[in-house]
Structure 1
Amino acid sequence: MIMVTTQELMQMALGLVEMQDIPGDSAIYHPGENIRKVLFGIDISTAELAMAKQLGFDAVIAHHPPQTSAIPAWQVYLRHIDFLVQAGVPREAAEAAVKPRAEAMAAAYQSANHEHYSSIARLLDMPFLNIHCPLDELGRRIMQKTVDDCLAVNSQATLGDVVEALNALPEFAEAHTQIQIAMGEAEAPAGRVVVAHGALTNGGYAVANAYFTHGIPTVLYIHIPYSDLQRLRAEKKGQLIVTGHISSDLVGINPFVQKMRAAGLEVTTISGIR
């Protein structure tokens, strides 16, 4: 019978995307060992920690960072700079699009009650961790490959063709929400498509605008604030596909669940994970 530690669970996720270090939006809040029964949800609160203790789980994994956790999640937002540069955006323009919001996130970090979740996990003696960026990065790679494969078969693929290719992924085929072409027409050529995911959260207006301004015709976000969408629509610089938050998260989460189960762990899923 396999038993693992919280560190080994984290390393299992990091290994899926060849990450060496735990990123700023992921952490082990209360370490544990001899773990066999895992409760895994996209969002975990103190209520779920108490429930897990009552039901006899050995550890709890959240996908999203707890809102008041003592981790510098904002650092992961800077990954947008790397993605922009890789797409051909000049570094100076990429930094201008990303750093102001990252600085705002860093300022907000100073006001958080950093010990809230970890103190409750300690009191319950319930091993607790969250794994965000590694699984989002895995999802980004899967979605980007799906889009690239579609365009490789047909360089004139339309936005509708790209959506159809993404809908072949089970996470989207079974989703409560539908992929939206938020900007552009289904019959319009997609051109180059960048999946802007895996950097804590969406890049809003500034990141999408940087892509559009520097020759990327189509951006894919998993979600976007409506105010940013309105501003982008008013400027009409590019095309935007929005895939939906939870279904997109599941693209990276499900392979991790499968890996844990294949290793012999008993994984119960809640809070958006089926």
Structure 2
Amino acid sequence: MSLSTEEIMEISLDLVGWDEVPADSGIHVSADDVETALVGIDLESPEIQLAEREGYDLVLAHHPPGGDPRVNFAPVLDKQVEFMTAHGVPEERAEEAVASLRSRMKHAGHSANYRHDPSIAEHLDQPYMNAHLAPDEIGRRRFREIADGLDDDASVGQFADVLGEIPEIEEAITNVELRLGERANGLGEVAIHHAAGTNGGSEVARAYFDNGVDTVLYIHIGAGDTATLQEEYGDTEKNLIVTGHIASDAIGMNEFIDALEAEGLECDTVSGCDIGR
């Protein structure tokens, strides 16, 4: 059985119950009859050429490589505000926390060579697409289920240990890291800040911490933001857990791949999507 690129995108949306393609996802070169796919977290010009040479019907990436998903990425950052307000952060404070990030992403999208990878795919007539936010939402829900399934008196260390049992995280060479706080600290209220485009840095974590959240989960964070949070909250019992970027992305992508294979698509995985399979 073959699938079109549009049907493949629809499967990603169906997995999370969404009706619209997020701004960070798109079909760069479409196809009607896809039977084989090369699937990975980051698939760019070299991988496009590899796929064309080896006869794959589709290159399916996770991270947005170009086109509208690269230039117009910023709207997915609205999810950051949604997640913060759901934990009691006032909307005005949430907007302030994400303002700098939104500006940086808009500037980055505007300055990027958004045609680079898609134009290579077009030149080779190689079908090419990416699905970002929906697979990340699958991962976010997995983390949320784990947090909600722990006892009320669970510690941060216990949470980290259970996260580490997720196959993708267990197999990865990265570990679950506690960038702020101590393993013995109470877990308290947990904000899962994933599937919002990217991490919220120190500003978003600060908004959570200052409005009653005890533990924030990111899948990645920069060293400067970590240092800022350690300086500001190092003497408190606030906690920041970081699960690992590629391992965490693989969680949602692997469920997506499973759904595609259930529809008869033959998927070969590289570039991080080979973790936990």
For the superposition of Structure 1 and Structure 2, which TM-score range results when normalised by the shorter chain?
over 0.9
- Unaligned 5+ runs, structure 2: none
- In the aligned structure 2, how far is the partner of 1:171 from the partner of 1:230? 27
Report the counterpart of residue 24 of structure 2 in structure 1: 25
RMSD over aligned CA atoms reads 1.1
Residue in structure 1 matching 2:162, options 162, 165, 168: 165
| Residue deviations 1:185-208 (CA, integer Å, cap 9, x gap) | 111111111110001110001000
In the TM superposition, structure 1's runs of 4+ consecutive aligned residues that sit over 3 Å from their partners are: none
Superposed counterparts of 1:96-115, under 5 Å: 96-115=96-115
- In the aligned structure 2, how far is the partner of 1:246 from the partner of 1:110? 25
- In the aligned structure 2, how far is the partner of 1:127 from the partner of 1:193? 40
Larger mean CA deviation between 232-241 and 198-207 belongs to 232-241
Indicate yes or no: 2:196 matched with 1:199.
yes
Report the counterpart of residue 251 of structure 1 in structure 2: 251
Superposed counterparts of 1:35-114, under 5 Å: 35-66=34-65, 68-71=66-69, 72-114=72-114
Report the counterpart of residue 226 of structure 1 in structure 2: 223
Please tell me the residue identity of whatever aligns with 2:229. L
- In the aligned structure 2, how far is the partner of 1:109 from the partner of 1:181? 31
The 3-state SS of whatever aligns with 2:39 is strand
The 3-state SS of whatever aligns with 1:198 is coil
- Unaligned 5+ runs, structure 1: none
Give the TM-score of the pair, scaled to structure 1: 0.95
The 3-state SS of whatever aligns with 1:219 is strand
Please tell me the residue identity of whatever aligns with 1:272. G
- In the aligned structure 2, how far is the partner of 1:99 from the partner of 1:23? 20
Report the counterpart of residue 127 of structure 2 in structure 1: 127
Report how far residue 6 of structure 1 moved. Answer: 0.5
The 3-state SS of whatever aligns with 1:70 is helix
The 3-state SS of whatever aligns with 2:111 is coil
Report the counterpart of residue 116 of structure 1 in structure 2: 116
| Equivalent residue pairs, number | 269
Report how far residue 29 of structure 1 moved. Answer: 0.4
Give the TM-score of the pair, scaled to structure 2: 0.94
- In the aligned structure 1, how far is the partner of 2:115 from the partner of 2:182? 48
- In the aligned structure 2, how far is the partner of 1:47 from the partner of 1:161? 41
